[in-house]
A = this chain, B = another copy of it.
Amino acid sequence: MRVTERPSRTPRRRGDGRTGGQAAAPADDGVAGRSSAARRPEGQPSAPTETARRPTIADIAKQAGLTKAAVSFALNGQPGVSEQTRSRVLDIARRVGWQPNSAARALSDGKAGAFGLVVDRPAAMLGVEPFFMQLISGIQAELSDNQMSLLFTITQDQASEIALYRSWWAQRKVDGVFVVDVRVADARIAALEELGMPAVVIGHPSVAGSLPAVWHDDALVARTVMEHLVALGHTLIGRVSGMPELRHTQIRTEAFGEAAGELGVTVVDAAGDYSGDSGALVTEELLRRDPRPTAVVYDNDLMAVSGLGAARRLGIDVPGDVSMVAWEDSPLCELVHPPLTALHRDVLTYGVHAARRLLAEERGQRAGNVKDAAHELVRRASSGPARRRSTSTTSPVPESR
């Protein structure tokens, strides 16, 4: 109960962590001292039934003069005890600060009480994207409402990710997992199906196998972008994509192609890898083409920002000479110059939906896929009308980087 302002240098004391053994009169326990004090006015000394440690239902049972089972019934709202007894038990539980031991409960009902999320990217590539943090934030919000925890891990390759799934499942550490960054013919999907482990794919249903997916319609979004650009007069549009092995990259590529065909314009695809470097490199390639695209769409914000820099180095004006659009919005897009037109979505809600879906799955409710809201186009200064194709290409600038 000492919550005083620590002077400057307390002689580090702290709990032992392990209050094991036969209560060798620790005098100052520091754990949940209120309980024993409250129950025992000043107590007969050498009390044999001292509740030293974290309270269990056995302690509550003893205090209430009941058995463990009765207490369990009372605490869980199960029938089998009188209302009077129930409230008495609840009172005691509250007073001693009882909380169920998660391991005991897990062992008993065979559920872990946690879900897992593994991200498999090299540490360097993680990071600048706010996506995961927001996703986790959303997942978390839903899980904590349901007394569930999230085990989060970053691995270096897919093999260890799969190994981790097997291990988690064998040890019953998690009740299910969220799968992100799904590739074509992703080995994780097959592994999860084989294990029979509940899982939700955060990505397109076409790669989710028999697993439920939470997704949004990238094809629709691609079309929106194309319409925006075509309406501005653009007819030759560059696109800097993410890794081609990711399924959603392919989906976007296909959709851009189709929309282009229908709208009578041309799309030039070029593959990046989400890194700033690749964004700059690929942008330079695109902007050196003749005829030069009058607009470029990027698969993430980081590449778009780099593309902006590349254009400046080449002496190409944005949006005067070329418009730029980033797929995925972030604070970054707002603070560069010019601010980037971007595709925004509510990642947090996406996470909430994924969590909700996995909770249902784990409860055995085998529902279908969940389609989330599509991205919304946020128009900023980086996209504008296509320049009349009169002036030829800018004088080439020596390559730099």
A residues with CB within 8 A of B: 1-6, 10, 12-20, 30-34, 36-38, 54, 97-104, 106-107, 109-110, 112, 114, 123, 126-130, 132-134, 136-138, 140, 144, 149-154, 167, 170-173, 185, 190, 193-198, 204-206, 208-210, 219, 251, 254, 258, 275-277, 279-280, 302, 305-306, 309, 312-313, 330-332, 334-337, 348, 362, 364, 366
A170 and B3 contact, Cβ closer than 8 Å, known pairs A128-B128, A153-B144:
no
Instruction: Tell whether, in the assembled complex, residue B6 and residue A206 are in contact, meaning their CB atoms are under 8 Å apart.
Output: yes
CB distance from A381 to the nearest CB of B (A): 12
CB distance from A59 to the nearest CB of B (A): 13
Contact, CB under 8 Å: A14 / B336 = no
User: Is A152 a contact partner of B152 (Cβ separation < 8 A)?
Assistant: yes
Find chain B residues with CB under 8 A from A219 CB.
Answer: 1, 3
Alpha-carbon distance between A37 and B112 when the two chains are bound, in angstroms: 14
A3-B190, A194-B3 known; A154 vs B136 contact (CB < 8 Å): yes
Docked-complex contact A152 and B150, CB < 8 angstroms: yes
29 A-B residue pairs with Cβ-Cβ distance under 8 Å, sorted by A, are A1-B258, A2-B194, A3-B194, A3-B204, A3-B251, A4-B206, A16-B196, A17-B362, A18-B110, A20-B110, A31-B366, A36-B109, A37-B110, A54-B170, A99-B171, A102-B172, A103-B103, A103-B172, A126-B130, A126-B133, A127-B331, A128-B128, A128-B331, A133-B133, A275-B331, A276-B334, A280-B335, A309-B336, A309-B337
- With CB as the reference atom, state the residue of chain B lying closest to A279: B335
The answer to whether residues A134 and B127 also contact, given A110-B18, A196-B15, A210-B14 and a CB cut-off of 8 A, is: yes
User: Within 8 Å CB of A305, what residues of B?
Assistant: 332, 335-336
List of B residues within 8 angstroms of A36 by Cβ: 109-110
Contact yes or no, B101 A332, CB < 8 A: no
What is the minimal beta-carbon distance from A119 to any residue of chain B, in angstroms? 8
Query: Nearest chain-B residue to A127 (Cβ)?
Result: B130
Residue contact B136 to A15, C-beta cutoff 8 Å: no
Contact status B185-A5, CB under 8 Å: yes
Within the complex, the shortest CB–CB distance from A96 to chain B, in Å, comes to: 10
CA distance A86 to B82 in the complex (A): 53
What's the Cα separation between A25 and B32 when bound, in Å? 50
Which of B5, B13, B210, B313 is in CB contact (< 8 Å) with A12? B210
Docked pose: A33 CA to B362 CA in angstroms: 12
